[in-house]
Structure 1
Amino acid sequence: MITQRVMYGSASYGKTAFFARGIQMDDNGNPIVVRTVEKYNADAKSWTMINGMHKARNYDETTNSWELIPDMLKDMTFITPSQSPPLIAVVDDNLYMLETSLNELRVYDINTNIWKKLGVVPVSANTTFGWGTAFKSMGDRLLVVGSSHSWHRKGIVYSSCPSPDVEEQH
């Protein structure tokens, strides 16, 4: 990475990965918010600094710019300020979110600006406010790693080939 950071947001599309915001330590050891966005090209094995963003936006690689998507997270439930940032992944040009307070898998409909509920995932992201839960794309699949709902809290890996056109998938 060009800018070292922790607790950053990340997303991948094909062989390109994006890393946004996060926390780094200043010279005195105090945490500061990183406002930059970087992309990594796996073919070229190179990092590029791209324009930062301050609101929910859509990135256009052809123009190297961000497009504002108003109220994109308006349906997101925030139970506590200590809740993790939204867990987002892209599969087959569709944007998916794990709504951690409800353990719900959702897909974004760009035409209606609505997150459509697809179903509940078998992880307990809600008990840790989303922290410690991984939500990533892997080819044509979504991968969720977290702990189970059961009382002994075993670690589980959940994989799914989602369909944005079907509601209430399991």
Structure 2
Amino acid sequence: MITPRVMYGSASHGKTAFFAGGIQMDDNGNPIVVRTVEKHNADAKTWTMINGMHKARKFSSLCFLLGKFYVLGGRDENDKHLTCGESYDETTNSWELIPDMLKDMTFITPSQSPPLIAVVDDNLYMLETSLNELRVYDINTNIWKKLGVVPVSANTTFG
């Protein structure tokens, strides 16, 4: 990485991987939450800084969906859970803030794991760990549709 950090989100598509946000150390050795985003090209073996996100965030989840990279949730520099998401369009090199993307998510503990997500057939799914409920995201309405309870409970802290 160009900017060493921890607790970042990552996702890949083909030979490209994105690494967004996280915690890095400032010049005095203090941890700071960042908006930094880097792209790695596996073929060229290169790292590129791209425009930063709207929000600094750590412990977020990333995915590739319908031609864009998405960042969901995480916690800000005050350790507050973020309910917004962001999407990155490579053709315009820009981020779009998605307010209230996780507005219906329940946050039980400060150490709650990042959103547990998966993309299948261009659909974004999330396991709402506090309710043990599977949901699918409607990208056009910014609403998560409840699909039902899953048979095995996930741990809200460890995923």
Displacement, 1:49? 1.1
Q: Aligned pair in 2 of structure 1 residues 48, 122: CA closer, same or farther (>3 Å)? A: farther
- Runs of 4+ more than 4 Å apart: 119-124
Rounded Cα–Cα distance in structure 2 between residues aligned with 1:123 and 1:3: 38
Secondary structure, in 3 states, of the residue corresponding to 2:96?
A: strand
Residue of structure 1 in register with 2:150 after alignment:
121
Rounded Cα–Cα distance in structure 1 between residues aligned with 2:37 and 2:133: 27
Rounded Cα–Cα distance in structure 2 between residues aligned with 1:30 and 1:55: 19
Aligned CA RMSD, in angstroms, stands at 2.5
Rounded Cα–Cα distance in structure 1 between residues aligned with 2:33 and 2:95: 20
Rounded Cα–Cα distance in structure 2 between residues aligned with 1:15 and 1:121: 33
Look at both structures and tell me which one has the larger radius of gyration over its CA atoms: 1
Equivalent pair of 1:12/1:90 in contact (CA under 8 Å): no
Segment drifting more, 77-86 vs 30-39: 77-86
Displacement, 1:125? 3.4
Equivalent pair of 2:10/2:18 in contact (CA under 8 Å): yes
Secondary structure, in 3 states, of the residue corresponding to 2:127?
A: strand
Q: Aligned pair in 2 of structure 1 residues 50, 113: CA closer, same or farther (>3 Å)? A: same
- CA shift digits 1:113-161 (9 cap, x unpaired): 1112344456653352xxxxxxxxxxxxxxxxxxxxxxxxxxxxxxxxx
Structure 2: unaligned runs, 5 residues or longer: 57-85
Displacement, 1:74? 1.1
Displacement, 1:2? 1.2
In the alignment of these two chains, the number of paired residues is 128
Equivalent pair of 1:107/1:118 in contact (CA under 8 Å): yes
Give the TM-score, by structure 2 length: 0.66
Q: Aligned pair in 2 of structure 1 residues 14, 121: CA closer, same or farther (>3 Å)? A: farther
Q: Aligned pair in 2 of structure 1 residues 95, 17: CA closer, same or farther (>3 Å)? A: farther
Displacement, 1:8? 0.7
Structure 1: unaligned runs, 5 residues or longer: 129-170
Q: Aligned pair in 2 of structure 1 residues 25, 55: CA closer, same or farther (>3 Å)? A: closer
Secondary structure, in 3 states, of the residue corresponding to 2:95?
A: strand
